[in-house]
Amino acid sequence: MRLVNRTYDELAAGDSAELARLITPDDLFVFAASSGNYSPQHLPNGDLDGDGRPEQVAPGMFVASLISGVLGSLLPGPGTRLCHQVLNFQTMAQAGDDLVCRVTVREKRPAGRVVLDVQVTRKADSAVILTGEAEVEAPRKKFDRDGVEVPGLLVQRHRHFEALIARARPLAALPTAVVCPDDENSLGGALLAMRESIITPILMGNAAAIRAAAAALGADLSGIEVIDVAGDDAAVAAAACALVHQGRAAAVMKGHLHTDDLLRPMVDRATGLRIGRRFTHVFVMDVPGQPEPVMVTDAAINIAPDLQTKVDICQNAIDLALSLGMEPRVGVLSAVETVNPEIQSSIDAALLSKMAERGQIRGGMVDGPLAMDNAVSLAAARTKGLTGGVAGRANILVVPGIDAGNMLAKQLTFVAHGESAGLVLGAKVPVILNSRSDSAMSRLASCAVAALHHAAGKAP
């Protein structure tokens, strides 16, 4: 960006400049975060009057901030100091409005002072949003420079998860055995999903501890089935498996217990939930800036999967992607994008790609080996001469092992500000698997993913 100012000596009455700006929903989030104004009418998803429709009104001072943009960047430009301002608001602006801010020099005063008329109008109908004046101290020193850049802002939103939740709400609530929901996070996530009509929770474990967690939340468990199960956490998980076999539960949800204690009864050949495939875990990631959800698998169960396990990892993820309405494009990751006999993951990737070509993996495109960059970046893929439907466009990332998968998922969460939903596949019913520290949105999205997968018939 090039910035050029107009010094006091260069200014004359009648000089003017304008700046056009489309108000986006993200602008409202950014202004709320920077100003501390969280009034619902000024948020993209807020509803002040309770009519079910967000008002999305731009705060008056946000509109006025456009004046600062013109004064500081255009006229007079860099070096300008605001001394006095008068604002008269005529009507409101909303997200989606295209505004034009115009300033015009009215007069020059002694000591470098300049008075400018200001006006903000809506482009669509020429409606005047605000009028006023600004008195500034104009710059005395000339400024003319290229390369003035401001880093872009990333607004943490969950548009992909919000879309999945909206699709899950109209479905019949999924009867879900919630195992050991005896802390506020796990119980709160299950109750939130119930309020959104996504699941019907059956709370299993130490009934007294569950009710104590509800009391801490201020939640009423009236009308919710609570099953008191004696024994350790594994015993509660085994009771949840029995509930599935009885046809009373169509999903299982992890509560406040270790993953090993939850899954150990499920892999029991006699009483568990095995159906032939390996249990595999999928993180469905909502990463800001990505055009669709990104899946990472397996990052939680299979430590060093062999080729046959990777076949199940791929197939389970493809089935889930189809359930969510995605076109499955599986990138099998390695450190390189060519087969290297010294790198087992590159050999496995090539075999998985060929197996998909021969119909041994069905329902989606599979390509590998791919390095992370040319799996998700078209530019990187083209630089390496990679073509096809997956390279640069992968939405399912199959990792070499649990180390790489765990690191990748956490990088997407803590560096790229993504949110994750967790699901175990390959069982008789979907198993909702969240970390004990996951957010409410993560737990809600996990339930929505399970409900959609169940409704699509991918989970027997």
Question: 172-220 pLDDT, tens per residue?
Answer: 999 999 999 999 989 999 999 999 999 999 999 999 999 999 999 999 9
Q: What is the DSSP string of 307-335?
A: HHHHHHHHHHHHHHHHHTT---EEEEE-S
Walk along the chain (460 residues) in steps of 10 and give the mean pLDDT of each run.
94 96 91 94 89 92 97 96 97 94 97 97 95 97 90 78 93 96 92 95 96 93 94 94 96 94 93 93 91 94 96 97 96 95 96 96 96 92 90 96 95 90 94 83 93 78
Q: How much is the pLDDT for 25?
A: 87
- The dihedral region occupied by 395, where left means phi > 0, alpha psi between -120 and 50, and beta the remainder, is alpha
Question: 215-229 pLDDT, tens per residue?
Answer: 999 999 999 999 999
Instruction: Tell how far CA 93 is from the center of its chain.
Output: 27
Map out the domains of the chain as residue ranges: 3-145, 159-455
Strand duo 174-179 + 199-205: pairing: parallel
Q: How much is the pLDDT for 460?
A: 41
Q: How much is the pLDDT for 417?
A: 85
159-455, CATH topology level = Isopropylmalate Dehydrogenase (3.40.718)
End-to-end CA separation in angstroms for the chain? 57
d(CA 388, CA 400): 22
pTM (2 d.p.)? 0.75
Q: How much is the pLDDT for 150?
A: 84
Q: How much is the pLDDT for 159?
A: 83
- Of the candidates 307, 373, 299, 385, the residue with the CA atom closest to the CA atom of residue 335: 373
Q: How much is the pLDDT for 458?
A: 47
d(CA 301, CA 282): 10
d(CA 226, CA 88): 59
CB distance 279 to 312 below 8 Å: no
Q: How much is the pLDDT for 90?
A: 97
Q: How much is the pLDDT for 457?
A: 82
3-145, CATH topology level = Thiol Ester Dehydrase; Chain A (3.10.129)
d(CA 279, CA 312): 8
